[in-house]
Structures are given as C-alpha cells and as structure tokens.
Structure 1
Amino acid sequence: MNVMTSIDSSLYLQNRPLERVPSPELGKDEFLQILMTQLQNQDPTSPMDESQFISQMSTFSQLEQTMNMANSIEKLVQQQNVSPILQYSHMIGKEVTYNTYDEETGEVVDSISGVIKAVSQDEGRAVMMLENETKIYADSIVELRNPEAGSDSEGSD
C-alpha cells in the first residue's frame, strides 16, 4: 500500500487560471448572491436598516426590469430583419410603375406599368416578377396602386 505523505503542488497549481478576469456586468444572479451574503453575515444585534434593505430591493427590481427591456428590444430588432420576400409579399397582385433609364446618360427613358405576380430575392434585395415576366427591383418602383384603380387616367401626362 502506497501512502501519500506530501502534496505535489504542481498537480493543482498548473490547472488553475493564471489570472482572474472579472466581468464588467452585474447581473441579477450576482446581485441576489451579494444581497443574500449580506443578510447572512449581518450582525444579529444590529440588523440591516429597513430603508437600506428596501433601497437594495428597489435597485434589484430596476435591474431586472432593465434586463427584461433589453431582451425585448433585442427580440424586436431581430424581428425587424425580415426576409425581403415576406416584407414585399403584400405587393403581389398590385400594379406598379417603374422607370427605365438610358445607360449612357442615366436619364429616364420610359415609365412602364405592370402587375406583380411573384416576389423573390437576389443578394438580400427584393425582386418583383411582373405578369409580363419582367423582373424589377423593389427600389426601382415609383408608384404602387390596386389594378382596378389603374384604369383611371388621373395623374397621366
């Protein structure tokens, strides 16, 4: 039988982190832990002042509400990153007008209208497929209307 008479410090000292990196954030778990430690170690003959305790609980409540609000805002931001297909799908069946441009001068050559039959995406941009099989980018649309409203000649030159 082998009896250990001394502890080899190299076995446990090598495995510990060389430097403790403190967290810059104080979360609700850490706050509760500090509060509980404070309550456990208070002097029974001189307990914590009620107003001090209420102040700390109020601080904890504010911290929790702030964290909940931050989580809600983060979820809202994530929901705003909606696919262009979903973002523009309400335009299917609508009549649009878009401009065509002269490649050399950049001037408007013509305004063309068509009804959107499908929406897709190309490199994060919404692409509208018109009934005449023309594909246009959503940002090139200059007017959007219901097809039945397009029969009026209002606004035409």
Structure 2
Amino acid sequence: MTSIQPKTNDFTLPDQSLPKATNQYDKDMFMKLLLAQIANQDPMSPMEDKEFIAQMAQFSSLEQMQAISKQLDSVLVDRHMSSISEYSSMIGKTIDFTSETSEETTKGSGRVVSISRNDLTGYMADLEDGTSVSVYDITSIK
C-alpha cells in the first residue's frame, strides 16, 4: 500500500505586509545623500554640472527600476491566478493521464478534487485516490 505524503511546496503569494529591510538602498536614501553632498560642498570648488547631472540620472534610473519591479510583481501574481483559474475548471471531472519516466510509463484515470502548484513540478491535478498528476500528463478530460 502506498502512503500519501503531504504537500510541502505549495506556491504562496509574497507577504506584502512585511516591512522593508533597513539595510536596503532606496530612492529616499539616495536623495538624502545627494542633498547632503550639495549642502556640504566646498564653495570654492562646487560640484561640476556633469557630476550633478550624472547623479540625477542615476536617481531617475533607480526610480524607473523600482517601478518596473512593482509591475513585474503584479504580472507574476496575475499570471499565477489566471493559471489556477484555467486549471480549476477540471475540478470534479474525470481525467485520463499518461506519466512517463525514464523507467516506466504509467496510465490511469481519476476524478480531480483540487489543483495545486509547487516550484518543482508545476501545476498538479490532485485526484480522489491521493495521486497527483502533472497537468501536462493529462490526455483527456471527461
């Protein structure tokens, strides 16, 4: 008799409530450093225009990278939710599947009770008998 192991790697969305790490560089710190540099510069040898423009360009690049990072996080969450929604239509239906490994080919069928995802195997259809089948191994849905 086979034993059923609990899933340990289900995907979870990132926790947005955690505070940011204090040792992380951000645009506020960059701006404070730039303003302190301007305020404390030697009046007899002020900062060159080229240096100031280069630092402002770096600041602008930092802001753009942060905006892109936020957009990518949003796309990742949207993609995950749409995939789960697509596969959830299989819940309650009977599927046929063929799983192939280097040693053997396994064919079977079963009724889908849930859809799950983990980082190692991707999206899985969990069957009534406790078997988990990759959605890519499904050959028919009834």
In the superposition, the TM-score normalised over structure 1's length comes to 0.46
Q: Which of the two has higher C-alpha Rg? A: 1
